[in-house]
Amino acid sequence: MKNKWSSLAIACLATLLLSLDLTVLHLALPSLVTDLGANSTQLLWIGDIYGFALAGLLVTMGNLGDRIGRKRLLLIGAAAFGAASVVTAYAPSAELLIAARALLGVAGATIMPSTLSIIRNVFTDPGERTAAVGIWSGMSAAGFAVGPVVGGVLLDHFWWGSVFLINVPIMALVLAGGILVLPESRNPDAGRLDLPSVVLSFAGVVTVVYAVKEAAHKGVEHADVLVAGVGGVALLALFVWRQTRLAEPLIDVRLFARRAFSASILTNLLAIFAMSAMMLMFAWYLQLVLGWSPLQAGLAQLPGGLCGAVGGILAARLIGPLGRNGVVALGLAMNAGSFLFYTTLGTELNYLTLLPAMVIGGAGVGFAFTVNNDNVLATAPVQRAGAAAAVSETAFELGGALGIAILGTVLNSAYRANLVLPAGVSGEAAQESIAGAVGVAAGLPPEQAGQLMRSAQAAFIEGVHLTSFVTAGLLAVVALLALVGLRGVPKVIPEEVLARAHS
């Protein structure tokens, strides 16, 4: 297909936008405390609600794309994402910003599975498909790298809402290019969309995520946490049971019997769970501990993201000598090593000592995610590419949202445990987060403000150390899981093997 590389470019541009949107938000969080008066709970919801809404709807939207056409769904989602970005940029309160971010999540759910399923359909050669997934993963990593820089430039010159307005021209390019270049593809034998399954999948995912988030904040002993947790698991169990009874299910549960599919999904979920805290942690550390501007913070994180892009592109070449399990395990082990270095961070930093850890960790991320995403796409039949891509992206988004909720709570808990308020200083805001301490310090005499900030920064560093140590341990375990779970997966998974597997 002569337009397949042009189609990849459009898919990569849409993916780049979603990565930009996530990373620029982290840099804007300190501004939201000042401009909108957002408290720590609202900040967590501002960061989480996008992923919650997106994760809850990905399976539905992936199946919808298989039915109405992946190109059509991508174009609809692009237009909706651009419109929701304008609403987000001009939200006048924290509550309305949370609602606007939820709308962005709904729109994003239409884009993410569409990009991967388009790649699955236009690249039928196994080698080209793996390379295309590597480029797609690289562009996603590049978005994480460039986002802080773009966000830093905007935040240095404009108000926080400007970081969302950059979505509009990029989405315009996706729409124009998509109309002209993208081929349409759909499942010609798809049945009707099962509405009870749609409700069960959305309600189950969102309820489980809510339960985990509240458990991390309140503790598992609270009645609402227990009810939500048990209810969410029951809804998901009912969803899985229903899929086994349908001729055209939202998720073909037989795919999970294939090790390449299930191990890749689980590995991606646990890996992004561990890594999601890093983006939030660094945004606060660089700005509120080291005192760097948003632009400086963005530039500081650029090498890690760019190395993630390079790792994604190089991953396909490593499959031959190392095998798929070896590439994923190596990538995760490299990332675990970078987090061990982060346990040595202090209130002062020599950036050159941080650079190697960022480079190694970023490249490792590129290795792992590229191979895992290709495993998922290669294992799924082409007519259900949207549904398979949606499962992969659901795990990714769910893991990210849970990571921010749980590891973010670990970070804040360690901060609160180590914070010592100076004599004569009180305030719940200072005890909630380091951003709250910055706000309290702004209204204190210089001597007390300095004492508070020194204590808050030292307490935050303790939280960084604990969170980094926990994350390094988790990534090491996941690396071993990948090494064993993906053992024996063929280095090349050709179409004829897939056809026999699903016949």
- pLDDT of 499 above 60: no
For the domain that residue 421 is a member of, what is the CATH number?
Answer: 1.20.1250.20
Q: Say if 222 falls within a structural domain.
A: no
How far apart are alpha carbons 462 and 416 in whole angstroms? 10
Query: Total structural domains in the chain?
Result: 1
What value does the mean pLDDT take over residues 428-455? 81
Q: Say if 280 falls within a structural domain.
A: yes
Of 363, 367, 360, give the one whose Cα is nearest residue 323.
Answer: 367
Q: Report residue 37: phi and psi, to 5°.
A: 65, 30
Q: Please, which pLDDT band fits residue 502 given cuts at 50, 70 and 90?
A: very low
Q: Say if 382 falls within a structural domain.
A: yes
Q: Say if 217 falls within a structural domain.
A: no
How far apart are alpha carbons 332 and 476 in whole angstroms? 7
How far apart are alpha carbons 356 and 468 in whole angstroms? 16
What value does the mean pLDDT take over residues 237-262? 83
Q: Say if 482 falls within a structural domain.
A: yes
Of 286, 310, 289, give the one whose Cα is nearest residue 300.
Answer: 286
How far apart are alpha carbons 277 and 127 in whole angstroms? 33
115 within 8 A of 74, measured Cβ to Cβ: yes
Q: Say if 51 falls within a structural domain.
A: yes
> Higher confidence at residue 71 or residue 431?
71
For residue range 363-393, list pLDDT tens digits in order.
898 888 888 888 887 777 766 766 777 777 7
DSSP sequence for 363-428 = HHHHHHHHHHHHHHHHHS-GGGHHHHHHHHHHHHHHHHHHHHHHHHHHHHHHHHHH--PPTT---H
Q: What does pTM read for this prediction? A: 0.77
Of 187, 155, 202, give the one whose Cα is nearest residue 27.
Answer: 155
Q: Say if 243 falls within a structural domain.
A: no
Tell me the percentage of the chain whose pLDDT exceeds 90: 8
DSSP sequence for 451-474 = HHHHHHHHHHHHHHHHHHHHHHHH
Q: Say if 449 falls within a structural domain.
A: yes
For residue range 135-168, list pLDDT tens digits in order.
887 777 777 777 777 877 887 788 888 888 888 8
Domain of residue 109 covers 4-193+257-501
How far apart are alpha carbons 178 and 78 in whole angstroms? 10
Of 166, 168, 56, 150, give the one whose Cα is nearest residue 112.
Answer: 56
Q: At what angle do helices 70-89 and 94-122 cross, to 10 degrees?
A: 160
